[in-house]
Copies of this chain bind each other. A is one copy, B any other.
């Protein structure tokens, strides 16, 4: 037993611990979106900390979109909706969108081509399986989170069949960024059906071993998704009517 000497002081910076505490209250729904926190001075005494420390905590939370500070009015709990869209602007997302999709095209097009060349029986099995599950999930009622997950899984299957581990990992990271950083474009009207058709073309081309067709199908797919995402960014209002 070498844990004899526990640290006396709780770990982490004070402001960090305060931020955690507040965030807990929010996730535990003790504090709901729109609620106003007690005034800084009051809250500071309640927590037994100084105002600067509390303010640092509030800053870090508002930077992550959990709180909104309004001069002269108070500190409020943010809507999760704005949280997600905040991450867009916070990570200078509009600007990144082009780069992100350009990168996806660069990677996914050769991936589809290689997959058509290097396909194996088990590989095709993976693909078919991922494809079937995705199609299945698009039946009413649609669970969008699940669809997004399965869509990513299908793409991952393509890259897996392509047989380049660098490619697989890189696209994995890219996909993760897309999933956490933005909502799926699949729920835009018509996009889901269009996407399904594109997936079919990709799958068929790979099964047929037609590398050229696979590449062009993948390219069309990415560009379709890109165009949808662009339209979505231009008028995000409709999306906010949803639940988010």
Interface, chain A (partner B; CB < 8 A)? 13, 15, 19, 27, 52, 55-57, 59-64, 69, 71, 82, 85-86, 89-93, 96, 99-100, 102-103, 106-107, 110, 114, 163-167, 169-170, 172-174, 176-177
How many Å from the CB of A198 to the closest CB on chain B?
Answer: 21
Query: Which of B13, B169, B177 is close to A89, meaning CB atoms less than 8 Å apart?
Result: B169
A166 touches B56 (CB 8 A): no
Q: How many copies are assembled?
A: 2
A165 touches B93 (CB 8 A): yes
In the complex, what distance in Å separates the CA atom of A99 from the CA atom of B62? 24
If A64-B90, A166-B90, A169-B86 touch, does A106 touch B110 (CB 8 Å cutoff)?
Answer: yes
B63 touches A61 (CB 8 A): yes
Which 10 interchain pairs have the tightest Cβ spacing? A60-B63, A103-B166, A89-B169, A63-B63, A56-B59, A99-B164, A59-B59, A59-B60, A85-B173, A106-B110
If A27-B92, A59-B59, A85-B176 touch, does A170 touch B170 (CB 8 Å cutoff)?
Answer: yes
How many Å from the CB of A222 to the closest CB on chain B?
Answer: 13
